[in-house]
Structure formats: C-alpha cells, structure tokens
Structure 1
Amino acid sequence: MASNLRLALVYGSAREGRFCDVVGEWAQRRIARHGGFDVDRIDPVEWPLSGRPSRADEAQLQQLRQRLHAADAFVIVTPEYNHGYPAALKALIDACYEPWRAKPVAFVSYGASSGGLRAIEQLRQVFGELHAATLRDGVCLAHAWRQFGPDGELREPQAAHAAMDTALARLRWWALALRNARETMPYELATEAAA
C-alpha cells in the first residue's frame, strides 16, 4: 500500500458564528477514520485574503501557496450563501492559482434545502478553469444545523458516512493516479508534449 497522501481540508466560510467548524470537524474525523491521508486544515480566517494584500501579507500568502502546493488532494467544506459559494473561499482559491492543477477535489457541502449543491456546481466551473479534477462523489447536508447534535456528530449518520467513505476512496484513487502522472511528467509540460 502506498504511503499516506497529503490532503488539504479547506474551509469555505469565514463568517462569525459559522457552522463550517461543525461540518469541517466532522469531515476531519471521517478522514482520520478512513485513513490514508495526512490532513492539513486550511481556514480562510487565518489568511490575509482581502484581494489587496500588502507586502507584509505576501509572506503569509506564500505560506498558503506552499501548503496548497504540497497537497495531493483537496476536500472543500463549504456552505451555500445566496445560491453560491462564499466570497472567502473565492478569495482563497484566487490567491493560489497553480497549486490546484492536476489534483483531485472532493466536496462536503451544506445549506438549506439544497444542501449546498448550487455552490458545488459553481465551484466545479472554477476548479475546471484551474485544471483540477472535481469528483462526482461527495457529501451534501441539507439543513445541516438540524442534522448535527450538540456533540458535533450526526444524529442519523448512515447516509453521510457512506457518502464520505465513497468520496474518500475515490479521492484516494484520483490522488494516487494524478500524483504518479505529475511525477512522470509535470503538468506544466503537458502543452509542450502536445505541440
């Protein structure tokens, strides 16, 4: 069996009082239980993502880019805000163009009745532009604040646990395949090989 893959668990919300912490911590526990990944949590609250970074901010943004670049795969935990994904997540994605290339992305979404699906559909377009491979499989939590108990665990976990296990198994497959491909030929050389 191959060694652990590096997974960046990216939080999508930076709002005060966000529910992202509950969902993100649940996702991190499921990833740990699944095994095979070393997790690095990336939280937009911790980074200067105003869109106009100062010179002092640039050193921090370089650290963010390095952490994302080190990842073999990504799990994005995001709510749906007004039929879309949060501005904090867009700022984080836009601050770091290259680290997403030729890597798989899985989603854990939450929201009201749609469970965050509209945010995910928009993110698929964004990650396609970044040359990332988005997975079909993921977790969608409709009315998530009702689904979780005060202990941070799902009240009826079977469906979400099964969905997460499937997503992680397929994420691992894609991460291994794409890491091997990047090691064989860096993605930047793909256009040169086609010429």
Structure 2
Amino acid sequence: MTEPARRANRGPAAAEANRAALITAAREMFAEYGPEAPLAFIAKRAGVGKGSLYRHFPNRDSVVAAVFEDNISELGQLARAPETTAEKLISAILEQLTDSAALIAALDPTDSSDTRLFAPGQEVIALLRAKLADPAQLGNLREDITLDEVFAGIGMFASLLLTTPESARLTMAATARSLLVRAFYNQ
C-alpha cells in the first residue's frame, strides 16, 4: 500500500502565504459557523497545521481581529481607487457590515491596545470625507449629505444588525439598507 505524498514543509518561506490562507479560511468558516468556528477547522481549511495557526494567531480574538483588519484593508483599497465614488464606498461598507456582523459582535470595543484597525479605518473615513466633498465623486448620493449623516446611518445599520438574530439578519439588512437609500440618495 502506498502512503499519500506529504506536502513539503517550506518552513518560514511559507509564512506569509500561510497567514493569508488562514485569514481566507477564517473568513469562510466564520461566515459558515460564526465567530465560534473551531480553530482546528480553520487550520484544516487553510491547509496548514494547528501549530501554524497558533504561530500567527495566539487566540481566537486575534483571528477575528485579523479578518476584520483584512476587511478594513479591502475597504481602504477600494476607497483609494479614483473610480470609486462615495456611493460605491458606502455600499461596500454596508455589505461588509452585513457579512461581518457576527465578527463585529465578537470584537472587544473596550480593547484600546489593539490599534491595527484604527489607522486603516481612519484612512477610509478621510477618503470618504474627500469623496463626499467632491460632487463628481458622489455617484447618486444627495449633494447635501454630510459625513456625520453617513456615519449616523451606518452606525444605526450596524447596531440594528448586531441586535438582530442571525436567522433574520439578511432580511433586516435589506430593509435597513432600503431606508438608507431613501435617506442618502437622490430620488
């Protein structure tokens, strides 16, 4: 009987690729099972051992924060693209909130020691502010919309999703998004 071929251990050379695979796997597993998805399942889906997972992420909170940090980074990339309007950026923020509501609930908002999310989030806010100030970058948003109004709406949207049972979350997200469209967009 022949033994299955073992994957070659590439050691430290694979660290970056392993981390990226773990974040992708975690995002998928959290979408399927919520933030309590077994870490062993995440490692298996990423194609790495549990030791590799724990080298990159010492605990569940650090995995959750890494996925969230990656989400913020994606928003930053989208926001920096000149062709992205404020409308598209707000839509992407709402989509990420919908997809990540369980992750957001798992983050500890009182932990001010983790600054990884602060700088990228501030960049997204600054870029959204600039897009809202430029009529050519509004898309179909009202010209008089302010950053405070946008963040009040996004905050209410997030709060509503966080308090809605998971089984009803997508329906509630669609309803809340419809209200925001009526408030933010030209009719």
For normalisation by structure 2, the TM-score amounts to: 0.34
- Bigger relative contact order, structure 1 or 2 (CA pairs below 8 A, ≥6 apart): 1
Which structure's CA Rg is the greater one?
A: 2
Higher helix share: 2
For normalisation by structure 1, the TM-score amounts to: 0.33
Higher strand share: 1
